[in-house]
Copies of this chain bind each other. A is one copy, B any other.
Amino acid sequence: MPDPGRLELRHPGGATSIRVGAGALAAALDELGGWLEGRTVFLVTTPRVRALHGRAVEPLAARAARLVTIEVEEGEAAKTLDRAGELWRRMLESGGKRDSRVVGFGGGSVCDLAGFAAGAFLRGVEVALLPTTVLAQVDAAIGGKTGVNLPGAKNAVGLFHHPTSVVCDTTFLATLDPAEVRSGLLECVKMAIVLDSDLLAVLERDLERLMAADAEALAPVVASAVAAKIAVVELDPAEAGPRRILNFGHTLGHALEAVLGLGSLQPGRSLRHGEAVGWGMLFALRLAERRGRAPESAERARRMIERFALPPLPAVAPAALVAAMRKDKKAREDGIAWVLPGRLGEASLDERFDEAEIASELADFLAEAGPGAAGGR
């Protein structure tokens, strides 16, 4: 069993301790207990996570002065201003103070919401995140981004508020829906393509074990993806520049989510975040091709993504997607910036295209990505 790794993310306000591994939570319990000792603690979670994994955090309740569990919906449904407002009112009514603690225990939406609630409650209380999905472990919980959605605009309201600690226990991932595992692994693929070609090799080699949510196989992949993200975030904590490399696949990805409806965990729903990013990566690779970027790297990246057998895209108007991209918070006054991969482990961050060119490429791309073309072009 790999030793639950311990990583650190240094940021302007201090440092986040990050543990990754199969059994990482058990290993972190004593430290977490000390952090919340004698405090009022708000555990933000979902009914499902509480039912599946609640026992794992029970030892924390004994250390707190009192632990208030606040349940929220699964998925993006929880990431609203209304829900944040409810959390704040609950926290206030339950005697929350500046030295209270928040613990986010769940997927990316729970982490984003709990982080936001903590960051703005009394102008900021400390938070720890215990992510329970691949996506949350490699992305949402790492880097201090928090937020909620506005109608049609993901993460439109939020702030940077780094957690004090993050525990990525890969044993939690065994209870995930396989489609959720796939969605998270696609974010790992994203990191691999633009930041870490060694990680890409591991993903290529272990994909079957990873898709089966094997905690031992997942631990080093999650650790590598977290390490890659840490390096980028430390370079650029406020996302002023280099951090935008992580937006690879997200320009179209976020637009797909905005237009098709934000993903949730209900069966039959349209598109998960990682799937949207998967399609977004394929489209960005296509744009990279138009600019003559390293074709062999692009081909290898594409083959990797195609192994995930993305669900086909429903019919959607290119103009609606372009409009959504323009509204995305990554957009600036001077237009939409694209992250285009070059050789594996590299990318350029600020590629511009004419909107008409994008709309025309999108029309072709969507024709190939429709119901008749499941699994990528």
Interface residues of A in 22-50 (CB under 8 A from B): 38-40
Contact A119 B85 (CB under 8 A): no
Contact A332 B97 (CB under 8 A): yes
Interface residues of A in 121-163 (CB under 8 A from B): 121-124, 145, 147, 150-151, 153, 155-160
Taking a contact as CB atoms closer than 8 A, the residue among B12, B13, B159 that contacts A124 in the complex is: B159
A12-B12, A81-B85 known; A123 and B147 CB under 8 Å?
yes
Q: Is A331 in the interface zone, CB < 8 Å from B?
A: yes
Taking a contact as CB atoms closer than 8 A, the residue among B88, B147, B238 that contacts A150 in the complex is: B88
How far does the alpha carbon of A101 sit from the alpha carbon of B365 in the complex, in Å?
36
Q: Is A329 in the interface zone, CB < 8 Å from B?
A: yes
Set of chain B residues within 8 Å of A160, measured between Cβ atoms: 123-124
A: contact size bracket: 35 or more
Chain A 185-214 near chain B by CB (<8 Å), digits 1 or 0: 000000000000000000000000000000
Set of chain B residues within 8 Å of A333, measured between Cβ atoms: 38-40, 65, 97, 99-100
**CB-CB nearest in chain B for A240:** B98
Q: Is A92 in the interface zone, CB < 8 Å from B?
A: yes
Set of chain B residues within 8 Å of A38, measured between Cβ atoms: 333
**CB-CB nearest in chain B for A326:** B95
Contact B92 A153 (CB under 8 A): yes
Contact B88 A156 (CB under 8 A): yes
Taking a contact as CB atoms closer than 8 A, the residue among B65, B97, B159, B330 that contacts A120 in the complex is: B159
Set of chain B residues within 8 Å of A269, measured between Cβ atoms: none
Q: Is A352 in the interface zone, CB < 8 Å from B?
A: no
Contact B99 A156 (CB under 8 A): no
How far does the alpha carbon of A153 sit from the alpha carbon of B121 in the complex, in Å?
11
**CB-CB nearest in chain B for A124:** B159
Chain A 150-188 near chain B by CB (<8 Å), digits 1 or 0: 110101111110000000000000000000000000000
**CB-CB nearest in chain B for A156:** B92
How far does the alpha carbon of A13 sit from the alpha carbon of B160 in the complex, in Å?
12
Contact B158 A123 (CB under 8 A): yes
Q: Is A300 in the interface zone, CB < 8 Å from B?
A: no
**CB-CB nearest in chain B for A91:** B156
Q: Is A307 in the interface zone, CB < 8 Å from B?
A: no
Taking a contact as CB atoms closer than 8 A, the residue among B120, B157, B238, B332 that contacts A99 in the complex is: B332
22 A–B contact pairs at CB < 8 A?
Answer: A39-B333, A81-B85, A81-B88, A88-B156, A92-B153, A92-B156, A95-B327, A97-B329, A98-B329, A98-B330, A100-B333, A119-B159, A120-B120, A120-B158, A120-B159, A121-B157, A122-B156, A123-B145, A123-B155, A123-B159, A123-B239, A124-B238
